[in-house]
Chain A
Amino acid sequence: MFIRNCWYVAAWDHEIPADGFLARTVANVPLVLWRDAGGKVTVLEDRCCHRGAPLSMGRREQGGDCVRCMYHGLLFDREGRCIEAPAQQRIPIQAKVRSFAAVESHRWIWVWMGSLETADASLIPDTRWVDDPGWRCESGYLHYDVNYLLVADNLLDFSHLPFLHPTTVGGSTDYAAVLPTIERLARGVRLAKWVAGTEPPAYSARYAQLAEGARVDRWMNYEFLVPGVLLMDSGMLPAGTSTPGGHRDGSLAFRGCQALTPETDTSTHYFFAHPHNFLLERPEVTREIHAGIVQAFEEDRAMITAQQRNLLRDPAFRMVPLGVDSALSQFRWIVDRLLALETDAA
């Protein structure tokens, strides 16, 4: 079961071709995405109301303002209404495909999986760093064969960093030993930590031109919002020159943006970008940073996929919780509560 009244990232903007379709399943619903004559993203359920054929195997018509099912020829407008049916003058009002609210924002295509009337664009998380000229990043996507909450668990408990990622994003053990403060939000949690005078992380130290053995002040603040959107603010300054919440002048900083979108109960789309604010004139730096992040995420994926297999093998298995689970448990509690609210309202 997934939260319906929620914005899900369905695609990177470039995944939707100018003259074709993208078929993608979100929260167990098959979707077809395409651009209408004005270039606006349109999203319908990818299932013709007649015999259930995928519309993504159909044809854009009228410059993209209509889609024709290429099984029996029904023609649908952007709202999913059937406006032409084979060998029939009167089209039943039931001949309709469900349509979804979609918003293109900072290179991501967000789809509201609840009813059209309840779609509230103000709830779309702010990921402006992905296309801000003051920052650089590449677009990332991974597919996971696991339930999305297992990946959310991973992103809400960074105590795994020195173990699973010793050579990538791991960092020093003194930094890992500092647990973040956790704040409960209406639709997620906010984590914050700031560690003074620690070792710089390997993956960004080489860009900082620090003296050998020089230490840094590091911060890592992020929000994690339903369904699984991570908005990271991390960075470092030379040791002794920063304060929590203080200035960021001259910092080496990142604004990681990540979105987990459940595909099915046991598979997940993972969209991510890791914008950085330094060495913007050197595209190879952006490529290196992105490759480092992908490598770390592959480490996560190998472990979490094996974990999911173990969990499916024995449904009676009970996890032993630990203190480091606080943020992920609070997030899961918020997910459960939103699901319960939707069930009660239904």
Chain B
Amino acid sequence: MSFPMALRVVASRAEARDVMTFDLRGSPGTELPPFEPGAHLELELPGEGEGARPLVRHYSLCNAPAARDRYVIAVALDAASRGGSRALHARLRAGDLVQVRSLANHFPLAADASRHRFVAGGIGITPIRSMIHRCEEMALDWSLLYVTRSRVRTAFLDELQALGDRVSFHFADEHAGRRADVAQALAVEEAGEHVYCCGPGALMRSVAAATGARAPGSVHFEWFALDAPPAAQAIGDRPFEIALRRSGLRLRVEAGTSILETLEAHGLGVPFSCREGLCRTCETPLCAGEAEHRDLVLSDVERGAQASLMVCVSRARSDVLELDL
């Protein structure tokens, strides 16, 4: 079979409060295109009401990649749903057909990692569950920190508990609502280990802060397209250009790559320390253009002045930033 394809929901079940899984298959005996852990589907869902435009949504696969006859997705009912999760929860039932537009993976397991450390928040468990399946099949070293609001909202609770002490849970309601101490959990770094995080923005940011000193490329994030605020997502995803006044160079900063990483890739490293916008070491004069400041050290006045930026985290609002480098 090839994309796009219509798959049938052969089973749907509630995994936890407001979390449902949907088991999608082709006609009996059909093998589906293979996927790697971390992959997601792009689904086309019917819009609400007569003549409504179809909704396009992305859902991570949570099943074992070895099972070639099915794609299983887990969907949380989002109170602020823009239609996708509500459409699935309320209307999709066993026997229904769904349109699968494509399969993609921005969150693969690192082949060279000696150990995989997963941090999942809420429904962010979906791609990580698939990754854990692969780790178990291949007897790879792994561990999971799984952060949820409460036990009843924890999808796959029983099966993950059965995996023993490689899984640690943090149920916020059992800690007076406090967040998990991610910095503590990730304080000790083993050589060769990779970190993977999928969950709400606050969790992803605290994992990013706790792993800022780690080797570039050893920490991986899966951002839910639906969860990221549209504006932030637009800037975060957007590539832009930097023009270097002194050297005359013009470089493209890709989405997902920082200005600092781009400079380093061209042998133009500037002093840095934290790489997370905390220490002000990589502050670089801004000659022209408007920066999207994402550091924690500039004052409001300094932000407004647009005279410098931290190249480790900050990005561009304008198409080009001219730097005094």
Q: Which residues of A contact B (CB under 8 A)?
A: 184, 316-318, 320-326, 329-330, 332-334
B188 within 8 A of A: yes
Task: Decide: A320 near B278, CB < 8 A? Known: A325-B273, A333-B273.
Answer: yes
B67 within 8 A of A: no
User: Whole-angstrom distance between the alpha carbons of A322 and B273 in the complex?
Assistant: 11
Q: Are B283 and A326 in contact (CB under 8 A)?
A: yes
Q: Are B271 and A334 in contact (CB under 8 A)?
A: yes
Q: Are B281 and A329 in contact (CB under 8 A)?
A: yes
Give the shortest distance, in Å, between B191 (CB) and chain A (any CB). Answer: 14
Give the shortest distance, in Å, between A333 (CB) and chain B (any CB). Answer: 4
User: Whole-angstrom distance between the alpha carbons of A329 and B278 in the complex?
Assistant: 11
Q: Which one of B187, B213, B280, B296 contacts A326 once the chains associate, using CB atoms below 8 Å?
A: B280
Q: Are A323 and B280 in contact (CB under 8 A)?
A: yes
Q: List 20 A-B contacts (CB under 8 A).
A: A318-B183, A321-B278, A321-B281, A323-B279, A323-B296, A325-B273, A325-B279, A325-B280, A325-B281, A326-B279, A326-B281, A326-B297, A329-B271, A329-B273, A329-B274, A329-B281, A330-B271, A333-B271, A333-B272, A334-B271
Tally of A-B residue pairs with Cβ under 8 A?
48
By beta carbon, the residue of chain B nearest A189 is B271
Give the shortest distance, in Å, between B117 (CB) and chain A (any CB). Answer: 15
Q: Are B273 and A332 in contact (CB under 8 A)?
A: yes
Residues of B within 8 A of A316 (CB): 187-188
Q: Are B271 and A322 in contact (CB under 8 A)?
A: no
By beta carbon, the residue of chain A nearest B281 is A329
User: Whole-angstrom distance between the alpha carbons of A333 and B213 in the complex?
Assistant: 14
By beta carbon, the residue of chain A nearest B275 is A321
Give the shortest distance, in Å, between B267 (CB) and chain A (any CB). Answer: 13
User: Whole-angstrom distance between the alpha carbons of A184 and B281 in the complex?
Assistant: 11
By beta carbon, the residue of chain A nearest B271 is A333
User: Whole-angstrom distance between the alpha carbons of A334 and B188 in the complex?
Assistant: 27
Q: Are B213 and A318 in contact (CB under 8 A)?
A: yes
Q: Which residues of B contact A (CB under 8 A)?
A: 183, 187-188, 213, 271-274, 278-281, 283, 296-298
Residues of A within 8 A of B271 (CB): 184, 329-330, 333-334
User: Whole-angstrom distance between the alpha carbons of A184 and B280 in the complex?
Assistant: 13
By beta carbon, the residue of chain B nearest A179 is B280
The listed residue with most B CB atoms (<10 A of its CB), out of A323, A325, A334, is A323
Given contact pairs A321-B281, A326-B283, enumerate 7 new A-B contacts (beta carbons under 8 Å): A317-B187, A324-B280, A326-B280, A330-B271, A330-B281, A332-B273, A334-B271
Residues of B within 8 A of A321 (CB): 273-274, 278-279, 281
Residues of A within 8 A of B273 (CB): 321, 325, 329, 332-333
Q: Are A323 and B297 in contact (CB under 8 A)?
A: yes
User: Whole-angstrom distance between the alpha carbons of A318 and B274 in the complex?
Assistant: 11
User: Whole-angstrom distance between the alpha carbons of A187 and B10 in the complex?
Assistant: 68
The 7 residue pairs across chains A and B that have the minimum distance between CB atoms: A321-B279, A323-B297, A329-B273, A326-B280, A329-B281, A333-B271, A323-B280
User: Whole-angstrom distance between the alpha carbons of A324 and B281 in the complex?
Assistant: 9
Give the shortest distance, in Å, between B282 (CB) and chain A (any CB). Answer: 9
Give the shortest distance, in Å, between A27 (CB) and chain B (any CB). Answer: 23
User: Whole-angstrom distance between the alpha carbons of A257 and B283 in the complex?
Assistant: 28
User: Whole-angstrom distance between the alpha carbons of A318 and B188 in the complex?
Assistant: 10
Residues of B within 8 A of A317 (CB): 187
Give the shortest distance, in Å, between A250 (CB) and chain B (any CB). Answer: 35
Give the shortest distance, in Å, between B100 (CB) and chain A (any CB). Answer: 43
Give the shortest distance, in Å, between B46 (CB) and chain A (any CB). Answer: 49
User: Whole-angstrom distance between the alpha carbons of A78 and B190 in the complex?
Assistant: 50
Q: Which one of B187, B272, B279 contacts A322 once the chains associate, using CB atoms below 8 Å?
A: B279
The listed residue with most B CB atoms (<10 A of its CB), out of A316, A318, A324, is A318
User: Whole-angstrom distance between the alpha carbons of A333 and B279 in the complex?
Assistant: 13
User: Whole-angstrom distance between the alpha carbons of A324 and B274 in the complex?
Assistant: 13
The listed residue with most B CB atoms (<10 A of its CB), out of A184, A317, A325, is A325
User: Whole-angstrom distance between the alpha carbons of A326 and B270 in the complex?
Assistant: 12
Residues of B within 8 A of A325 (CB): 273, 279-281
Task: Decide: A318 near B187, CB < 8 A? Known: A332-B273, A333-B271.
Answer: yes
Residues of B within 8 A of A330 (CB): 271, 281
Residues of B within 8 A of A334 (CB): 271
User: Whole-angstrom distance between the alpha carbons of A184 and B213 in the complex?
Assistant: 23
Residues of B within 8 A of A322 (CB): 278-280, 297
User: Whole-angstrom distance between the alpha carbons of A320 and B272 in the complex?
Assistant: 14
User: Whole-angstrom distance between the alpha carbons of A195 and B145 in the complex?
Assistant: 50
Residues of B within 8 A of A326 (CB): 279-281, 283, 297
Give the shortest distance, in Å, between A23 (CB) and chain B (any CB). Answer: 37
User: Whole-angstrom distance between the alpha carbons of A332 and B213 in the complex?
Assistant: 15
Give the shortest distance, in Å, between B112 (CB) and chain A (any CB). Answer: 24
Give the shortest distance, in Å, between B311 (CB) and chain A (any CB). Answer: 13
Give the shortest distance, in Å, between B69 (CB) and chain A (any CB). Answer: 45
Give the shortest distance, in Å, between B186 (CB) and chain A (any CB). Answer: 9
By beta carbon, the residue of chain B nearest A315 is B188
By beta carbon, the residue of chain B nearest A326 is B280
By beta carbon, the residue of chain A nearest B298 is A323
Give the shortest distance, in Å, between A232 (CB) and chain B (any CB). Answer: 22
User: Whole-angstrom distance between the alpha carbons of A333 and B280 in the complex?
Assistant: 13
Residues of B within 8 A of A318 (CB): 183, 187, 213
Residues of A within 8 A of B281 (CB): 321, 325-326, 329-330, 333
Q: Are B279 and A329 in contact (CB under 8 A)?
A: yes
User: Whole-angstrom distance between the alpha carbons of A330 and B283 in the complex?
Assistant: 10
